[in-house]
Structure 1
């Protein structure tokens, strides 16, 4: 399960629309349909290649009397950070000192565009450090964030930045 969450790519259908969507019953064949999709990439995956493969997959299965249009909305390669990274080691030590127990390394399984830009433009890795709790329900309609996590996060960042400055 952790491998699926942390290290495997995903393809998501974020929304589908088409045909009659109003109140009541209609027996109408839709003239158009739309789908919004996204892909979570992992280290080494190229968004342009994934986009091309998806387009080829859809196009090859399209009926002769149908047409398709694609509208890209950006993309960023999936990145990984070596556990031997010196900045990560310093951050882990600072976080462990703040919280009084060993900091956990977990995979994030996401391709966040700005992280890729930092790597490409500045030539530097990014540390993605989170302070959320397991029951925070990140990105859900009833998301929350405890004030203790906020305060601990502030202190943690002060320690991490001091450790990185050494």
Structure 2
């Protein structure tokens, strides 16, 4: 049984299973693939997470270094244990649905506390934000026409989730107009 990996650890480990990389390259891939939309990895946490993975024997520093003026960057690669742990944890992540805890549901549970006009404004704001996020993910996907199939699948899943929420939100806003009227 592999060690429990946080989503951020599993994401970095998976990128290192693809190929050895240094921290800045990991950040570039995370940005290019829009991964910050679905996992919490800040640039400042990459080396911290790499250290944790290294201490657990899942990644190691390789002999290769990326040389740039006045700096040499350590390159990390997945170990055999890291590859095994990544595969097992990824299989579980795909196979086992897990609950999510979106703050939207907390807000909806407390909807009676919100005056109708402010509720409508909040929902309109959410609709605009969803549209913008959908456009951003679409642009990121379109910028990588030759991405591997698994990367395209991530973009497609993200776009489908956004479209589903947009559809729900449209219907919900219409039902509020029926319920609350045009106040």
Q: Does TM, normalized by the shorter one, top 0.5?
A: no
- Judging by fraction of residues, say which structure has more helix: 2
Q: TM (normalized to structure 2)? A: 0.24
